[in-house]
Structure 1
Amino acid sequence: MKQHRLAAAVALVGLVLAGCDSQTSDIKLESPAQKASYGIGLNMGKSLAQEGMDDLDSKAVALGIEDAIGKKEQRLKDEELVEAFGFLQKRAEERMTAMNEEAAKAGKKFLEENGKREGVVTTESGLQYEVLKKADGAQPKPTDVVTVHYEGKLTDGSVFDSSVERGSPIDLPVSGVIPGWVEGLQLMHVGEKYKFYIPSELAYGEQSPSPAIPANSVLVFDLELISIKGEEQAAPAQ
């Protein structure tokens, strides 16, 4: 996290807070501008909390904004501000490192225990799977495009993505997805349903693609292979 990013975040939150006075309970959230303003503050507050800034002093933030808008002399020297931002940056990085390490340990423990369950197969790469529904269809090749239905969850059961909920399967290239899917899809036959337990190193690792997927997360997917593109017409009519 860069210092200018941290400074911009603080400034934006301060701008929102400065317009609130102290009577936040009296603020109306009716017009699109008011709703958007609330959304900015809400999202920024969540972002700051994730960065470990849960001790942010909202009054001090508002004071800084008011001084800037009023063109008053700043109360702290630039050197003091740089030092303060550096402290927050270091603290956030340490916090994130600790969270990532804890997530990695939790994921490893989950996979160790999960691999002992009956019906769970662990491949050489560390990918784990269960066959939920067997079928005798064709198996996709790395060069194929397939049609699938899926639901992705974290190990705590929270859903982060689901074509099932959207009510529409998706087409995707076998070699154009995360490594766990690349391997897993080639194990499946058309018509089958598998449950995959994907280690973080076969998913996104430390590079979280969204707030819904923390870094170093083990991902759990229910995956149905509906068809291989180009082979639908070649399949015999049922």
Structure 2
Amino acid sequence: MKQHRLAAAVALVGLVLAGCDSQTSVELETPAQKASYGIGLNMGKSLAQEGMDDLDSKAVAQGIEDAIGKKEQRLKDEELAEAFGFLQKRSEERMAKLNEESAKAGKTFLAENGKREGVVTTDSGLQYEVLTKADGAQPKATDVVTVHYEGKLTDGSVFDSSIQRGSPIDLPVNGVIPGWVEGLQLMHVGEKYKLYIPSELAYGEQSPTPAIPANAVLVFDLELLSIKDSAAKDAATEE
């Protein structure tokens, strides 16, 4: 977490806090009011993720009031820098602990899951089970495929789903996370697999979205619908 990011978040939350005395005084009718609420809501979630559960709302409001009123600030820049540095260090330590716990939980899940009948574990650590078997063609790393999928965390929380959107997607086999690259090449067109992807074959500590915690094991229901232009390729081969 950067100091300017924390400062900006606190300032925006402060604006919301300073602008109302209680929930009953808040009006959410106009687009500007709704957007204002959205800013406060998003920043509140961000601060909660950063571990800012001891934020002093009165101190935040006082800082906003002093700045808007062009009053002399009550703390020196050096004191503020020290405070932000403390919060940054605390946030980093908290995230490191959460990452460690997530990695440990993922290893435990995979160790138990790998014992289930029908679950196959590859040399890379990828786990899969065949839900629907078929005899179609198998894609290569250089192919583009059409798939339906639903991605979940190990607790069942859905973070992405083409199935829910009702629209399959086309993607290059070698342009996705390593767990998918390997899993897709095991599949035949028409098959449905369930993939259990270790974090090192997914996103590791660099999660692309807050919906996926760092070091998370990802579970995908994956259906291989087709290999793009595979019919044309087969016809050309026969000729």
**Normalising to structure 1: TM-score of the pair?**
0.97
C-alpha displacement at 1:26, in angstroms?
Answer: 2.1
User: What is aligned with 2:202?
Assistant: 203
- Counterpart of 2:126? 127
- Which string of whole-angstrom CA distances, capped at 9 and with x for unpartnered residues, describes residues 137-183 of structure 1? 00000100000000000000010000000001000000000000000
CA distance in 2, matches of 1:116, 1:67: 62
- Report the counterpart of residue 137 of structure 1 in structure 2: 136
Q: Which residue of 2 aligns with 1:39?
A: 38
Q: How is 1:164-203 mapped onto 2 (pairs within 5 angstroms)?
A: 164-203=163-202
* Superposed displacement of residue 234, structure 1: 5.9
Using the TM superposition, give the Cα deviation of residue 23 of structure 1 relative to its aligned residue in structure 2, in angstroms: 2.5
Distance in 2, matches of 1:61 and 1:69, equals 13
Paired residue total: 235
Q: CA offset at residue 235 of structure 1?
A: 6.8
The equivalent residue for 1:12 is 12
State the superposition RMSD in angstroms: 1.1
How far residue 9 of structure 1 moved from its aligned partner, in angstroms, is 1.0
Does 1:63 find its partner at 2:62? yes
* Secondary structure in 1 matching 2:216: coil
- Residue of structure 2 in register with 1:80 after alignment: 79
SS in 1 for 2:52: coil
Quote the residue 1:50 is aligned against: 49
- After superposition, the C-alpha distances for 1:3-51 in whole angstroms (9 at most, x for unaligned) are 111111111111111111x122221111111111000000000000000
SS at match of 2:24: helix
SS for the counterpart of 2:230 is coil
In structure 2, the residue corresponding to 1:118 is in which secondary structure? Answer: coil
Tell me, in whole angstroms, the C-alpha distance in 2 between the residues paired with 1:44 and 1:232.
Answer: 51
Distance 1:64 1:32 in 2: 27
The structure that is helix-richer by fraction is 2
- Contiguous gaps of at least 5 residues in structure 1: none
1:89-238 → structure 2 map (5 Å cutoff)? 89-233=88-232
CA distance in 1, matches of 2:6, 2:166: 40
% identical aligned pairs: 86
Between 89-98 and 4-13, report the one with greater CA deviation: 4-13
* Unmatched runs of 5 consecutive residues or more in structure 2: none
Amino acid of the structure 2 residue aligned with 1:63:
Q
| 3-state SS in 2 of match to 1:66 | helix
Q: Which runs of 4+ in 1 moved over 4 A?
A: 233-236
Q: Following TM superposition, by how much is the alpha carbon of 1:2 offset from its aligned partner in structure 2, in angstroms?
A: 1.0
Distance 1:141 1:110 in 2: 30
Residue 109 (structure 1) shift: 0.1
Return the alpha-carbon distance in structure 1 between the equivalents of residues 139 and 24 of structure 2. Answer: 58
